[in-house]
Each structure stands twice: as C-alpha cells, then as structure tokens.
Structure 1
C-alpha cells in the first residue's frame, strides 16, 4: 500500500481507497503504511523538518467519525517561503488552508508534556498555509486512508516572520483568507483543538508514546482554521493573521 502511494505521488495517478478493499483498516494500520511511505521518501534523499497535525477541528472530526487529530511528518521538499510560486501540476487534487505554525526552540518529548511545557519549548509563532492533497481518488478517504497518505499533506508555505509566543494568545488570532483579492473564508486560532499550543502538547505526547521527539527547529503545523479551499493554476492566495502578519502563495501552471 505504501508503494502504491509512493507511485501515486510520482505519477500523479491516484489510488483507490484502501478501506474500500478492506473496511477493517483503522488508524494503527494507517500509521504502519505511513511509516513505510516515509521510509521510501527519505530513501530518495528527503528530510523530516517538522510535523503537521490534521483533523483538529470538530467538524472535520465528525466528518470522518473520529474524536482526535491525526499527524504526519513535514518533508523538506514540500516547504515553501512567503510569496512562492507553487505549481498546480505538482498535485493531484489540491486544496489550501490557513494555519498557525510554531517553530520549536528546544526538543520536546512526551509523555507528560503539558500546555505550559509546549509553550516553553516554542521559539516563535507565525503565519502559514498548507496545501492538502489526496493521492486517493476523488478524496474518498476514511481515517486509515488519509493517515496512510501522510495525513493528506501536499506542501507548506510559511512566513519568515516569527512572533514571540509571549506576545500572542493564539486562541484569539483571527485570520482572513482571500483569493485574487476576494474573501473566501475567515477563521480563528481556537478552531485548532481549542488552542494551537495544545496541539503541540498533544503531538509531543502522541509521538512520545511511539518513541519520537519533536526536535529543535522543527515546524509544527497546527491544523486548518477554516474549510479547505480547492485551488487552481492562475490563482493567488493571501492569508492575513492578526498579530502574525500574512502569507501569500501564487499557483502557476
């Protein structure tokens, strides 16, 4: 299954949902597939530079029938800077969503990580967008499918500007997303599990149970603040965050 997803990323041809063939597949199996897919991608020379957390909003959890988030590593090859041009052809069925991103200033490993511990480990907080993509036909995903597919990650664009966490209550950060100058959605930090800093603590504890730590300098993407927006070539997206600044992505052919 990991090899099928690896080929789908290479060729742009999506696979059928694994859970259609085997409805018994769950989160544990999804993470086993994800682990093997990551091994294949790292063997190509990629590098893990952080993690993303998905399904942090209650509506998304209800849609997939779960009560907790999922996660996947962020790969160096998928990270872009503010103002980047991103090729639509690099994805199969991409959507874009605005997120709050943290950069860690120190190593963090669970179990037992509290929100205060997570706050102390953060070097700064910034504006970002994630391009989510599915290597599964028509986004017909259940939980095991999206987990296996690197939590449906496609790419990340982040601002180089970081604000000290002591200056920001990330629960209250408002966000406005526009496409070609037209408003498409709004959101607030509390959409991410009630508190984006709590997302970092959740991730540290969840990975800690697997013997994995969050490393100094790593990015932590904390989940969408609004419904994902389908994106196409020729469009420009601007996400503006209160106190954090903005991030722009241009989608090209």
Structure 2
C-alpha cells in the first residue's frame, strides 16, 4: 500500500509539470510522511535522470526560523538541482515554464572537493568550498496556491524551480557570511533586505547539515556541484516582465530578468 501511494503521488507530480497544479498530496493521501515524501522526490529524480537529466547540486530550504514556524517544523529540507534548472545571468528566463514562481536571494557554494557525511564538521565543509557566488533561486510549486506542508514540499523536490548564478565567483570565506548583508531589488526598487545569519545562523551550517543528512543515504556532494543553502529574505512572486537583482556585501550582485516567450 505504501509503495502504491508513493507511485501514485510521483505520477501526479510528474504530470503536474505538464499540466495543471494539483491539490496537496497530504490531502490526497492522508498519513503521507516525510519519509514517504523523500521517496517520492527520489523517484522523480530517477525518472528525470533516466531521461537524460543530470544532477548538478542540491538546495536546502526552510532554513529560516520564520519559514520553520510557518510550516511547524524544526529542521530544513533539501531538493535536487538538475542541469535544466540553471539559467544564465542577464539572459531572459521564460516565466511560462513555471507555475507560480517566487524568487529568493542566496549565497551559493560551488564545491571544489567532494563532501560526504556523516560526521562532516564546519571546518571540513569550508575546506571543500571552492567559490561562493551570489545567486537567485526560483522556487516553484506544483501544489495549488502554495498550500503546502513539509511533506508536500519535500515530495515536490523542495519546491525547486531554477537558479541564476552571478558572474563573480569569490574566494570562499573572505568575508564573514553570517554578517553578509543582502539588498533585493524588484524592477529597481528595494523590496527586501537580509543577512547571512538568517540561514541557519550561517550558510555554512546549512552546508554541513546537508552533507550529514544525505551522506547516510549514499549521496555524495560532488566537486563542481552547486549548493543553495537557503534564502536571506522572504520569497517574492515573479511575473512576466520582472527584473530582480540581489546585491551581497563583499560578494557581488546577480540579476535575473523574466519574459514570457511567445508560443
């Protein structure tokens, strides 16, 4: 019965990418657990990779106390970043490929060495980082109206949508990431501000958590992989014609523009 539920939920999400959003999985399948949800996420990743996609990194979500309180959870979650999710800076992103996109500013890590838990320390995680780079994550949900619980978002690949990396790759930890400030602009106007400490106390803590969480599952964070550790601000809705930019003190700026491609 559990495998049947996982298969049906997986098929519902895969179908949602091509059609309408779906009702929360936790309503369709009462009793769905977070363990079930990760199995559903992995089943989708297997489907994508079997069809030619490549995993290029991971994202960590629910790292801020505000989001954890909102969903009633006490830990982050994670999802997979595929090659198709990466968009070049300053080149328009087709907003029509998403269902209900929002944007978040993040300090991304690019690994220069593999990292695998359990037992990874902050020092080992820091030593594995080759670059830090400003990033804008596009989160999206295949669940109608973002009516998600923890299990819903985990199953939906942690609400992953896309990512735009900045063009300035910095030496890691030349600045204190806890104190790194961020200004998020929407069409030139400041809409939010934040600091690195909003991400699990430090974005590095998020990387440590990820390595130690996926390691026992047989997953290694590979050299060259990108890790998005979590947002410095709240998420903001994205629409056709929008331009968002995020400026990070000591790291640089990243810009993303959105256009709806004509069919």
Q: TM-score, normalised by structure 2?
A: 0.94
1:13-52 superposed matches below 5 A: 13-52=20-59
Give the structure 1 partner of residue 221 of structure 2: 214
2:15 counterpart of 1:3: no
Is the CA contact 1:104–1:215 (under 8 Å) kept in the aligned structure 2? yes
Give the structure 1 partner of residue 112 of structure 2: 105
> Which residue of 170, 174, 181 corresponds with 1:167?
174
Is the CA contact 1:105–1:217 (under 8 Å) kept in the aligned structure 2? yes
Could you give the per-residue CA deviations for residues 218-237 of structure 1, whole angstroms, max 9, x where no partner exists?
A: 00001111110011001111
- Structure 2: distance between partners of 1:117 and 1:155: 28
Unaligned ranges ≥5, structure 1: none
Unaligned ranges ≥5, structure 2: 1-8
- Structure 2: distance between partners of 1:2 and 1:195: 33
- Structure 1: distance between partners of 2:173 and 2:52: 37
- Structure 2: distance between partners of 1:212 and 1:199: 16
Give the structure 1 partner of residue 159 of structure 2: 152
Give the structure 1 partner of residue 89 of structure 2: 82
> Which residue of 144, 148, 162 corresponds with 1:137?
144
- Residue 174 of structure 1, CA deviation: 0.5
- Matched position secondary structure for 1:223: coil
- In angstroms, what is the RMSD of aligned CA positions? 0.9
- Structure 2: distance between partners of 1:39 and 1:148: 13
Could you give the per-residue CA deviations for residues 192-230 of structure 1, whole angstroms, max 9, x where no partner exists?
A: 100101111110000011111100000000111111001
State how many pairs are aligned: 252
- Structure 2: distance between partners of 1:112 and 1:104: 18
- Matched position secondary structure for 1:71: strand
- Residue 7 of structure 1, CA deviation: 1.2
- Residue 24 of structure 1, CA deviation: 1.8
- Higher deviation after alignment, 77-86 or 113-122: 77-86
Is the CA contact 1:34–1:149 (under 8 Å) kept in the aligned structure 2? yes
- Structure 2: distance between partners of 1:23 and 1:100: 36
Is the CA contact 1:84–1:157 (under 8 Å) kept in the aligned structure 2? no
Is the CA contact 1:26–1:143 (under 8 Å) kept in the aligned structure 2? no
Give the structure 2 partner of residue 117 of structure 1: 124
- Structure 2: distance between partners of 1:166 and 1:14: 40
Is the CA contact 1:101–1:128 (under 8 Å) kept in the aligned structure 2? yes
Could you give the per-residue CA deviations for residues 119-148 of structure 1, whole angstroms, max 9, x where no partner exists?
A: 000001010010100000110101111001
- Structure 1: distance between partners of 2:175 and 2:90: 24
Is the CA contact 2:55–2:81 (under 8 Å) kept in the aligned structure 1? yes
Could you give the per-residue CA deviations for residues 76-131 of structure 1, whole angstroms, max 9, x where no partner exists?
A: 00101221211110100010010110000101100100111100000010100101
